[in-house]
Amino acid sequence: MSYNPGLSALAVVLIAIIAAGCITDNSPAPADVPAMIPATVTHMGTVTPVPTTPGCAYPPLNPWTGVPESYSSPLWKKPASLPAPGSNVSYADLVGTPSLNWIEYTFTTQTQDSSQSGGSMRTEISKENYHGKPAVHKKYTYIIHTSGLPPAMDDTSIYDTYYDNDNNVLYKHQQVVRNGVTLEDSEIPVDSTNSTPDCSEWIWALKYTYLGIDPITIPAGTFPEALKYTTITPDDNPDSEIVSGTFWFVPDVPVEVKRILINRERGSLFTMELTGWG
């Protein structure tokens, strides 16, 4: 039985997609994103100062989203009022600072040649020690199934990453198992870190456009009041693989419930839907 490294690579791409928080379909493009973030950013009638280096992120950062725990979003959870359709909001406003132990999604990837893969992905986060120092442990588990292959060919990829409180990567490990056989079990070299938290730019940029209420049904349930947003990568950022994305949030659900991404480089359509959280 041969090991398909492409499936493991897909798991790495999925981690990057989750972390990026970007998504869309062919929805109308939002207003242009400013190249520079101003000294203050207006969020739904409130003015939130954008902190300045080096204390810009107001640590600690939320381990799920990277948003400073000190930031109070007017939109996260159940908002008192919704933005006007067509208005832009920030990543920080959408994702907030949830308190969770785990989340789980199903996903499918459709490519231009009609090949399809899918499966499930689970993220678990816990506060632990790494070599005697406080750390955040993020564990990603992906079960990846390729259409046309038997379940015995499914790959289970497990990624363990430890971060310090400033979001610097301390350690990475990858394990891949198929049909009870370990195909890979190795440490991943740490080639870069976030020496300081990302406290401006994409976290605060007003680049997510509110489209309106869009009822949806997903594995986690039926949500008649889901809120639909879109974001599109500007043409002046050709290095981004993601062309556009659409995602849905539900009042009082602490994470996004659905996202759809169009990948510029691979010509693929990626969809993920929430199955549970806790």
Per-residue model confidence as pLDDT tens digits over 61-76: 788 888 888 888 888 8
> What is this structure's pTM?
0.76
Matching residue, tokens 């994409």: 202
Which residues lie below 8 Å from residue 172, measured CB to CB, with a gap of 6+? 159, 160, 161, 162, 187, 188, 189, 190
Which amino acid, 21?
G
| Token pair recorded at residue 227 | 């809120």
**Confidence band of 48 (pLDDT split at 50, 70, 90):** very low
- Residue 78 per-residue DSSP state: S
pLDDT in tens, 149-163: 888 889 999 999 998
pLDDT in tens, 195-213: 545 555 677 888 899 999 9
Task: Output 112 or 89, whichever has higher pLDDT.
Answer: 89
Q: What is the pLDDT of residue 28?
A: 34
Phi (first) and psi of residue 50, to 5 degrees? -85, 115
- The angle at the Cα of 105, spanning 254 to 88, to the nearest 5 degrees, equals 50
Q: Is 19 helix (H, G, I), strand (E, B) or coil?
A: helix
